[in-house]
Amino acid sequence: MERGNQTSIPEFLLLGLTDRMEQRQLLFLLFLWMYLLEVLGSLLIVLAIGSDPHLHTPMYVFLTNLSLSNICLLSTTVPKMLVNIQTHSKSITNAGCLAQMYFFILFRGLDHFLLIRMAYDRYVAICHPLHYTTIMSPWLCALVVAGSWSVSILQALTHTLLVVPLSFCAENEIHHFFCEFNQVLKLSCTDTLINDTAVLILTVVLCVVLFAGLLFSYSRIISTVLRIPSARGRGKAFSTCGSHLSVVSLFYGTGFGVYFSPTSTHSSQKGSKASVMYTVVTPMLNPFIYSLRNKDMKWALKKVFSKKTLFS
């Protein structure tokens, strides 16, 4: 079929995670709690980093952007889900679906880029500590952050603009709690070869190449740490990247589990339930992993709370 120039159906239906009313109310409370917890945790991290001059380093600049990205990522999907549950509605407009798809791709991609940059920062700090301030200069740090945002915006814009010309003739039910890109493509009654090709190219160029860089960074970090003679020295070196390694493992572990599992290949609610870990739980856990496993962050958070106590 040829590509159409407009969508034939007025809206999409987000089927969500369950049709049972009692379960939907439980999901409302659970997702509301996770959303508020993530927003509060991420904002505290941003506040702690901003108020402590000792944390104005490249690693924590990346962490600030990651925290803000996580807030925006959850704000893209969870509030609409909560509104639909409370209003007993499943609908989302075509424009709303495109906007949700765009921002989800943007902030999910931004998470990916920032984690790769943070891995490189840890690689330089452990493998080339004497040259760290030279290599990770403020100018390079700002350039890397700006580049991550720019590439993520272009990636999301490319995918979204390629969806705009598609026609959706009859089927409008999305087996997910948000407008997931692949699920939307399955509903199109026009040829999606261009979209599939763009996904393949961007996946290979951006994801595979950058993931290889991630593996390279951590392979060098591990080999360097294992050559440290003392156990105390090895423990101290690992502690500098332990939080980031935990977040990376959770991010890519859940991501690969969702997109390479058998349930993800079917348009069923099983795939949407599995993706909750990747799209909601992982961003929610990031602030707590960094704050609980990082001595500098715990000290900065204590200073923030002590200031609030003094002013109260």
Q: What is the pLDDT of residue 259?
A: 63
Confidence class of residue 271 from pLDDT cuts 50, 70 and 90? low
Quick: pLDDT tens for 104-154.
999 998 998 898 888 888 889 888 888 888 888 889 889 999 999 999 999
Q: What is the pLDDT of residue 266?
A: 45
For residues 263 and 215, the model is more confident at 215
Are the C-beta atoms of 90 and 15 separated by less than 8 Å?
Answer: yes
Residue type, 38: E
115/251 Cα distance (integer angstroms): 9
Strand order in the sheet with 91-93: 91-93, 11-14, 173-174
Query: DSSP class of residue 129?
Result: G
Q: Is 16 left (phi over 0), alpha (psi -120 to 50) or beta?
A: left
Segments making up each domain of the chain, as ranges: 11-311
> Is pLDDT above 80 for 18?
no
User: Which pTM value belongs to this model?
Assistant: 0.86
Are the C-beta atoms of 4 and 165 separated by less than 8 Å?
Answer: yes
35/267 Cα distance (integer angstroms): 26
Q: What is the pLDDT of residue 263?
A: 47
Residue with tokens 């639909």, as numbered in its chain:
84
294/30 Cα distance (integer angstroms): 27
Mean pLDDT within 221-233: 81
Confidence class of residue 6 from pLDDT cuts 50, 70 and 90? very low
Query: DSSP class of residue 3?
Result: P
Q: Poorest-confidence range of 44-48, 58-62, 155-159, 251-255?
A: 251-255
The CA–CA distances, whole Å, from 297 to 59, 201, 285 equal: 12, 38, 15
Q: Is 105 helix (H, G, I), strand (E, B) or coil?
A: helix
State the CATH architecture for 11-311: Up-down Bundle (1.20)
> Is pLDDT above 90 for 55?
no
Average confidence score pLDDT of the chain = 82
Mean pLDDT within 210-227: 84
Q: What is the pLDDT of residue 276?
A: 83
Question: Is residue 96 classed exposed, middle or buried when 0-12, 13-18 and 19+ CB atoms within 10 A define those classes?
Answer: middle
Q: What is the pLDDT of residue 267?
A: 47
175/304 Cα distance (integer angstroms): 43
Residue type, 7: T
Confidence class of residue 4 from pLDDT cuts 50, 70 and 90? very low
172/167 Cα distance (integer angstroms): 11
Mean pLDDT within 243-254: 78
Q: Poorest-confidence range of 53-62, 65-74, 224-233, 262-271?
A: 262-271
Q: What is the pLDDT of residue 7?
A: 46
Is the sign of the CA dihedral 222, 111, 249, 35 positive or negative?
positive
Confidence class of residue 268 from pLDDT cuts 50, 70 and 90? low
Residue with tokens 């702690």, as numbered in its chain:
48
Q: Is 299 helix (H, G, I), strand (E, B) or coil?
A: helix
Q: Poorest-confidence range of 77-91, 129-143, 214-228, 257-271?
A: 257-271
Q: Is 88 left (phi over 0), alpha (psi -120 to 50) or beta?
A: left
